[in-house]
Structure 1
């Protein structure tokens, strides 16, 4: 292991110090290394004592980042269930049952997930979530609310056309 002078630190070390709220001081030029600073210059170089670091917020920030990394690196769960953001009551609506029947998934179990949690799963037959518009791509179906689908003939037609196209493309 080689030693470096205390005035030069790596990018990683600088990032860690910055994350901890510690500022990195450095010399502007080599000439100033050899000259000893005057008392006035020393006062200018001192960091104000009124600056207080909130170590609890730094710790919370680091902990939050660590938890996010754990979630990102967690192994994916395998499931053969349908993933959906709809509530348990929504699962019994006729439109929900009709779509599952059209996709030949009527007998498949359903798991409720929050938006974004479908990324924690793999090998699911379909994810069905609420979106601003109708779309179906990469086993992810987004529709407006089920109530909106049930009452709008135009949205129903668009949904059935979308499902028909998806089924043809999967053959």
Structure 2
């Protein structure tokens, strides 16, 4: 068998894995698609792809699961079935091992990040903690800062807090600001 035929045989198996990742796919079936013995198929696949066929199948499944977690509201159990796992526990264990985070945690983190990005895109200025108070500094619109209604009154209270700060804190602030 020539090198081109082997490359084409591996391409066929890659296509099968990408299309049928949610089904039960055996190593012997993939070797059959490639037209190679199971032993030879595993060696050739690993040499050309950089991982075993089963690891590649798991990789494709996990990438699809990550995409579904971030882009749908499907439950973790539904995603588990969608990507070809029969057990939520097995799926969660393998997902966590690959991404370093459990599927549910990834979804919650993605939702938080999306909400934060939406808030910033909508023009909300981040809140700042100054002198123990959280200040809403206003909104940014068309690149111009627009102070909130209570910005000026809180500004004077911030100055008051800074004036009465302990002397050590004032020295640190003066040193960091380059002042005396």
TM-score, structure 2 normalization? 0.29
The structure with more helix, counted as a fraction of residues: 2
- Between 1 and 2, higher relative CO (CA 8 Å, sep ≥ 6) is seen in 1
The structure with more strand, counted as a fraction of residues: 1
